[in-house]
Chains A and B, each alone.
Chain A
Amino acid sequence: MDVWQEARRHLDGLPGGQGLNIAYEAVDRHVARGDGERVAFRFIKADTGVHDLTYSELARQSNRFANVLRTLGVAPGDAVFSFAGRIPALYIAALGSLKAGALFSSLFANFGEEPLRTRLTKGCGRVLVTTAPLYARRIAALRSSLPQLTQVVTVGSTVPEETVGFDGAMAAAEDAFTIPPTDPEDPAFVHFTSGTTGTPKGALHVHAAAAAHYATAASLFDLQPDDIYWCTADPGWVTGISYGLVAPLLHGVTAIIDEGEFDPARWYRIIQEQRVNVLYTAPTALRMLMKAGARLARSFDLSSLRLIASVGEALNPEVVRWGRQAFGRDIHDTWWQTETGAIVIGTAASQTVVLGTIGCAVPGIESAIARRQPDGTLAFVAEPDQVGELVLKAGWPSMFRGYLGEPHRYAKSFIDDWYLTGDLMCRDSEGRFSFVSRGDELIKSAGHLIGPFEVESALLEHPAVAEAGAIGKPDPLIGEIVKVYVTLKDGFAADEALRADVLGFARRRLGPALAPREIVFCRSLPKTGSGKIVRRLLLARELGVPVAGLADLEAPEQQ
């Protein structure tokens, strides 16, 4: 039997053969099987207090939220967004939205007004769930530019004007909700991801994806029914939804959600006190733990950990070696992206970690190394250890089904029926992949993919900025930092006060997640004959490496 059909057999389907709905599989079916009293989510509050949501309670609350959406006039296919930190309401809203047949999309709480406006507009956000403070800080001023956003639901004791209070609406809603028939191909989530050019893309995922989340959590993490599982990713990014919410709940395990901010001692304490068995985290976080030293790690009892896995960026061997000292175990790498919806390459719990490699393709995924040809076809690279682009044969259940409103961009992501990942990799003779680099100019900062165009566009709105070129400057801790080279309009002096002003402007517009960490003023930027800024040359200058064929271009001259 096909791997994915086999995975589907572990899902129940809606009662009465009414289709497949992720929220039912993640929550209601466990209640139906008599496992309702198990803890689905354990929220660790910023002050380290604990708040549990059992599967029954989560079923009831997500039902209520689905009813709230009905009251607000949300129809199947409408888009519900969240913009919040890792709070219970976000997870309840996500599951309630899926139950109501709505499309759910989560926005990172560190986004500024531009990324919010772009994504809410592109995703036709009808309802937004946020907190009262975030509403005041980021959303209130945007509302007039978002005509399609008819309702904002706010979490918090005070309810801002022109919003609906989450607590009040939930209290007034019924406990019971029947999930309408759901086709496995019905849209469930939209996850936004950056493009090299143009606005971010809204990758559309369907309910059928659940089979891939179930199967990969079983094979990669070896999840067991009584496991305590902690995915540290924020739900504002795809990992925090696919593996922070969907995968653990499909397996009926307890998922830890830390509402507090990163702090090494806090993380170790959580692992120790909650007896975490499976930890899914990111290289940036691991490098920050490494910075705090192995001695700190060893001062805690981390013996409950059975598996540590990583995702989001290349996992450097140094971190794996350190992990052996600190945790006494290997860190298993995984690779996937927003478009793949679920892990497609990784070292499974049962496999041995080979330093410097990610692992093999997940069962059910057909992969190849290939090169795009000038005539628009793909040339496959059969021999091992050759660099080429990772391509994946279309058809796995969690593959994205489109970019919202951009069929052309979607079509361009494929050659024949091969999905082009844009990542350059090598594959050894045993089928293990190693990451080489991105094939484009996207910036990978703290595991987040950032489009230089989005950053540059925001900077260009500053009255003093004439041109901007954004690159990813290598950083030992977070992979890359966003660095922007800026030329100024006539009459503006390139001084420290202006630099601070431009930086502050960019941070207000973009939020800290996307804003540059470094801004450099220069007299000119390297351009092609047609006037396009050559980011590759900016990067080469940054790294101090020569770039063949670009010698005739105007170089950036620092001011």
Chain B
Amino acid sequence: MNEEELRSEVLKALKQVAPEADTVTLVSEQTFRDQLGIDSIDYLNFIVGLEERLGLRIAEIDYPRLSSLAGCLGYLRQHLPAAGTVPDP
């Protein structure tokens, strides 16, 4: 999965929880919470959605690392299995 596809999956998971979120103007390094109206339950649901889409398990202790777009991409690049083994969402 290339960078562009990964980014698109993250935004889709975000939109699934908060369809009203403006992901176009999202600043990659700022937290989702500071920019979008999402709360801690939304955030948990977002992570669960990401797990389902990408077929991976994210440890609770790592949740804070996924709090921004840049954080998500960095984390997922590290933890996703090699290309080709990711199931279709």
Report A's interface with B, CB cutoff 8 A: 110, 112, 133, 137, 261-266, 288, 291-293, 296, 446, 477-478, 500-501, 503-505, 507-508, 511-513, 517
Contacts and interface: CB of A to CB of B under 8 A. Distances in A.
B20 to A, nearest CB: 3
Nearest to B39: A512
A505 B21 CA distance: 11
Given A266-B64, A296-B61, A261 B19 contact: no
A504 B42 contact: no
A477 B43 CA distance: 13
A266 B40 CA distance: 14
A507 B18 contact: yes
Interface in B19-44: 19-21, 33-34, 37-44
Given A512-B38, A512-B39, A263 B19 contact: no
A262 B15 CA distance: 21
A517 B45 contact: yes
A291 B47 CA distance: 14
Nearest to B45: A517
A400 to B, nearest CB: 27
A505 B20 contact: yes
A291 B43 contact: no
A513 B39 contact: yes
B60 A291 contact: yes
Given A501-B19, A504-B18, A505-B20, A263 B42 contact: no
A513 B63 CA distance: 21
Contacts of B42: 512
A326 to B, nearest CB: 14
A507 B45 CA distance: 15
A110 B39 contact: yes
A95 to B, nearest CB: 27
Contacts of B33: 261
Contacts of B64: 263, 265-266
Interface centre among A262, A477, A512 (most CB of B within 10 A): A512
A432 B40 CA distance: 33
Nearest to B15: A500
Contacts of B60: 264, 291-293, 296
28 contacts: A110-B37, A110-B39, A112-B37, A137-B37, A264-B60, A264-B61, A265-B64, A288-B44, A291-B60, A292-B60, A292-B61, A293-B60, A296-B61, A500-B15, A500-B16, A504-B18, A504-B20, A504-B21, A505-B20, A507-B18, A507-B19, A507-B20, A507-B37, A511-B37, A512-B18, A512-B37, A512-B42, A513-B39
Contacts of B21: 504
B62 to A, nearest CB: 10
B41 A263 contact: no
A478 B43 CA distance: 13
A166 B20 CA distance: 30
A261 B40 CA distance: 7
Contacts of B43: 261
Contact of A517 (B40, B41, B61, B63): B41
Given A292-B61, A296-B61, A262 B40 contact: yes
A133 B37 CA distance: 11
A296 B62 CA distance: 12
B20 A263 contact: no
A292 B34 CA distance: 24
A512 B41 contact: yes
Contacts of A500: 15-16, 19
Contacts of A265: 61, 64
B25 to A, nearest CB: 13
Nearest to B20: A504
Interface centre among A261, A505, A508 (most CB of B within 10 A): A261
A230 B64 CA distance: 22
Given A262-B40, A500-B15, A503-B19, 16 more contacts: A261-B33, A261-B43, A263-B64, A265-B61, A266-B64, A291-B60, A292-B61, A293-B60, A296-B60, A501-B19, A504-B18, A511-B37, A512-B18, A512-B38, A512-B41, A517-B45
A508 B63 CA distance: 25
A271 to B, nearest CB: 16
A112 B63 CA distance: 26
A511 B45 CA distance: 16
B57 to A, nearest CB: 13
A464 to B, nearest CB: 14
Contacts of B63: 263
Contacts of A264: 60-61
Interface in B38-81: 38-45, 60-61, 63-64
B20 A446 contact: no
Nearest to A506: B20
Nearest to A475: B41
Contacts of A517: 41, 45
Contacts of A262: 40
Contacts of A263: 63-64
Nearest to A264: B60
B9 to A, nearest CB: 16
A462 to B, nearest CB: 12
Interface centre among B18, B41, B43, B60 (most CB of A within 10 A): B41
A517 B54 CA distance: 22
Nearest to B38: A512
B33 to A, nearest CB: 6
